[in-house]
Amino acid sequence: MIVMEAYAILWADLMVLKRRIGRYLTTTLISPVLYLVAFGWGLGRGISVDGASYFEFVVPGIIALTAMNSSFNGAGTRLNVDRLYFKSFDECLMAPISHLSLLLGKAMIGVVRGLISSIAFVMVALLISPAFSIGPLFLVSLLLTCLTFAFLGVLAALLARSHEDMATFGSLILLPMTFLGGTFFSVSQVPAALKLVLYALPLTHSSMCLRAAALDQSFPWGSLLAVGCFWLVFFIGCTLVLKRASV
């Protein structure tokens, strides 16, 4: 029952994505490809990190970054527009469905967008450098990353009081994670005090999991658990905010 209700919420967003899939893929690949060219081919040429070339090192980090941005914006921006502009979210609140189904439906469009964007970039990266592998642990880490940031996007959209609030959230939360979340450098190379701060960022753990799985390194199970804990925190936050909004 919950799955069917969530799919009913998700269906409208899927139809919008289906009509715009070509344009969406084009726009969503611009940033990660630019990062790949600038950091992988530009600054990182001839550099080795953690036993791999910098190009091989940075690709999984960019995949994690792509999953974060696409999942967050796919769920959060869409919900923000529905809630504050079209006012259609109020109709969803009055529908005879559970809050769990509503949250899942609104978050899953972010997961779908995140997976599409990430897989598209993976295909581009494999054409350029087929030196990394895609296995079950990689796919599980990618899915959990998309889930985590999709629910973060839903939480931000539920808390936002204006469209500008979403942009502010991105500048204060997503932008620092972009450059401090272990995407472009190894966390093991930073001072211990800063390392504690970086481990408090979900993108750091996502990058570590995807990188270890892609490069066949020792897998950081603790980081996978940390990503799951972040997802749980964001999910509980969404539940509490939605319950308060529907009173």
* 154 vs 147: CA distance, rounded Å: 11
pTM for the model stands at: 0.94
Q: Is residue 247 over pLDDT 60?
A: no
Lowest-confidence region among 23-32, 82-91, 112-121, 171-180:
82-91
Residue 125 CA, chain-centre distance (Å), reads: 18
* 55 vs 70: CA distance, rounded Å: 22
Alpha helix positions (H), 39-98: 54-81, 89-94
Q: What are phi and psi of 131, to 5 degrees?
A: -85, -5
- Going by pLDDT thresholds of 50, 70 and 90, the confidence category of residue 40 is confident
Quote the pLDDT of residue 142: 97
Q: What percent of the chain has pLDDT over 70?
A: 97
Quote the pLDDT of residue 90: 78
Contact present, 75 and 153 (Cβ < 8 Å): yes
Average pLDDT of span 64-90: 90
Quote the pLDDT of residue 131: 72
List of residues 6+ apart from 215 with CB closer than 8 A: 52, 56, 57, 60, 132, 133
Contact present, 67 and 118 (Cβ < 8 Å): yes
Reported as half-sphere exposure (CB side, CA atoms, 13 A), residue 128 has a value of 14
Contact present, 144 and 118 (Cβ < 8 Å): no
Look at the block and give the residue holding tokens 């599980």.
Answer: 140
Q: Is residue 41 over pLDDT 80?
A: no
Q: What are phi and psi of 88, to 5 degrees?
A: -80, -15
The domains of the chain are located at: 2-245
CA proximity to 13, closest of 141, 113, 93, 149:
113
Reported as half-sphere exposure (CB side, CA atoms, 13 A), residue 39 has a value of 20
Contact present, 126 and 213 (Cβ < 8 Å): no
Model confidence pLDDT, tens digit, residues 192-212:
888 899 999 999 999 999 999
